[in-house]
Amino acid sequence: MINLNLKNIAPSYIREILSVATHNDMISFAGGLPDPNSFPLELMKESFQELSQLPEFFQYNSTRGLEGLIESIGKRFDIKKDRSLIITNGSQQGLDLIARAFIAPGDQVLVEAPSYLGALQVFKLAGAQLKTIPILDNGPDLDALKNCFERQKIKFFYVIPDYQNPTGYCYPLVLRKAIAQLCRQYGVMIIEDSPYRELGFKGEKLALISDFFPEGSIVLHSFSKIVSPGLRIGCVESTSKIVNSLIKLKQISDLHSNIPSQFILQKLIEHRGFELHIQQVRQNYYDKYRLLVGELEKELANEISFKPVQGGMFIWLSFRDPEINTMEFAKKALTKKLAVVPGSVFYLNGSNNQNSLRLNFSHPTLANIKKGVHHFAQTVRIYSKVN
């Protein structure tokens, strides 16, 4: 009796590996978790205390989201005046609302290869026909993109330009402009997912792809990476017409998002310590990143290659030996108490790119990064011997 699209979605390999990876003695480069030490609890403390005097934040409230929060987000994240916002339960719900409101079964949605698994599942659930565009060293392959738009009626292009998941790549400005231009030319709507946007190591931010095609784009913002994922607060930015459809759908889906957390987030964004907090997160992740790549180069310079990143939470690593199958490698690593995610899980059919891996550096401690790379190197030696 279960919905067939739902039935046909395979359980997430990442969720499964994460359930193993939470064991205490396991070192994990697998998930996409922020560092729990980075949660700005000290900055939120006062608001939590205030809350118990504010019954109005425990009542039913607006589906669009808390007015004060929307205003604060608008200011802090430079949302243009003619754009509308809706608060969602993390940007995952934003994706789901977009798919449910605008994707009909059979609609063609173009996604990057590799891409964020959670988005692919949302699109599959909506019955979309998924097409893929390969990511080159700088981002999506423009020639292939043009070709694809020419040959097929693509409705949406789902793209993660800032420190992409899983590759960590940040697309250059000229590529962003070109993508927007092609989408405009071929009438393709853009879903621009940008959860890592604030995580540039130096705080640098390029223009969004959507800035060059605002009337044809929907942007997903997240607070999971710079504040806390447990709060489940994200937001979707688009034209008022599109946002109004999402509001109508969200009202039916769950009335509105958690109000006390919206209040806490509003106060945090308005807090004079918020900018320093984000800088500290960036510095923390930069330190971890440098240690990770330093250790990898020390231990495995001849075995692996990867492109340096300028921010985010991940690096995308390939073995020089094309015979190494990272799905097998990941299983072997588990026996060394190390969790990594094989690259193939980020591809639609799971079969491409058998010798790549995604490594997360935001969650493990510095000590565990060092130890983890050591286990990683040991797994490489074992793997090479056995196979």
**Interface with a copy of itself by CB under 8 A: which residues?**
1-3, 6, 9, 11-12, 15, 31, 33-34, 36-37, 39, 41-42, 44-45, 48-49, 51-53, 55-61, 88-90, 92-93, 96, 100-102, 104, 118, 121-122, 125, 155, 224, 228-232, 245, 248-249, 251-261
**Minimum gap (Å) between residue 88 Cβ and a copy of itself:** 8
Q: Smallest distance from the beta carbon of 148 to a copy of itself, in angstroms?
A: 20
State in Å, rounded, how far the first CA of the chain is from the last one. 44
What pairing do the DSSP bridges indicate for beta strands 217-222 and 338-339? Answer: unpaired
CB nearer to a copy of itself: pick between 218 and 292 = 218
| Complex with a copy of itself: residue 261 or 355, whichever CB lies closer | 261
Residue 322 beta carbon to a copy of itself: minimum distance, rounded to whole angstroms:
33
CA–CA dist 33, 339 (Å, integer): 13
Residue whose C-alpha is closest to residue 119's, from 65, 176, 213, 193:
193
Residue number, 140 or 195, with CB nearest to a copy of itself? 195
Nearer to a copy of itself, 62 or 325 (CB): 62
Measured from the CB atom, is 165 or 257 closer to a copy of itself? 257
CB of residue 19 to a copy of itself, shortest distance in Å: 9
- Least distance from a copy of itself to the Cβ atom of residue 125, Å: 6
Tell me the closest approach of the beta carbon of residue 45 to a copy of itself, in angstroms: 4
Q: Which long-range contacts (CB under 8 A, 24 or more apart) does 343-350 make?
A: 343/114, 343/166, 343/316, 343/318, 345/13, 345/14, 345/117, 346/113, 346/114, 346/115, 346/116, 346/117, 346/165, 346/166, 347/113, 347/114, 347/132, 348/111, 348/113, 348/120, 348/130, 348/132
Helix (H) or strand (E) holding 61: none
Kindly state the tokens that stand for 361.
């550096």
Residue with tokens 């990511």: 135
How far apart are CB 39 and a copy of itself at their closest, in Å? 4
Q: Closest CB to a copy of itself among 21 and 340?
A: 21
* Shortest Å, Cβ 304 to a copy of itself: 28
User: What does the block give as tokens for 226?
Assistant: 């710079």
The per-residue DSSP string of 86-143 comes to EEESHHHHHHHHHHHHH--TT-EEEEEES--HHHHHHHHHTT-EEEEEEB-SSSB-HH
For a copy of itself, give the closer residue by CB, 44 or 359. 44
CA proximity to 107, closest of 5, 24, 31: 5
Dihedral (Cα; 341, 345, 347, 352), 10-degree rounding? 80
The pair of three-digit structure tokens given for residue 52, joined into one six-digit string: 């118990």
- CA 99/CA 92 separation, integer angstroms: 11
How near is the Cβ of 17 to a copy of itself at its closest, in Å?
A: 14
- Our CB check for a copy of itself shows the closer of 11 and 106 to be 11
How many beta carbons lie within 10 A of that of residue 351, not counting itself?
8
28: helix, strand or coil: strand
> 10 Å Cβ neighbour count for 370?
17
Tell me the closest approach of the beta carbon of residue 328 to a copy of itself, in angstroms: 26
Could you list the beta-strand ranges (E) of 160-278.
189-193, 217-222, 234-238
Pick 12 or 387: Cβ nearer a copy of itself: 12
Nearest to a copy of itself of 61, 326 (CB atom): 61
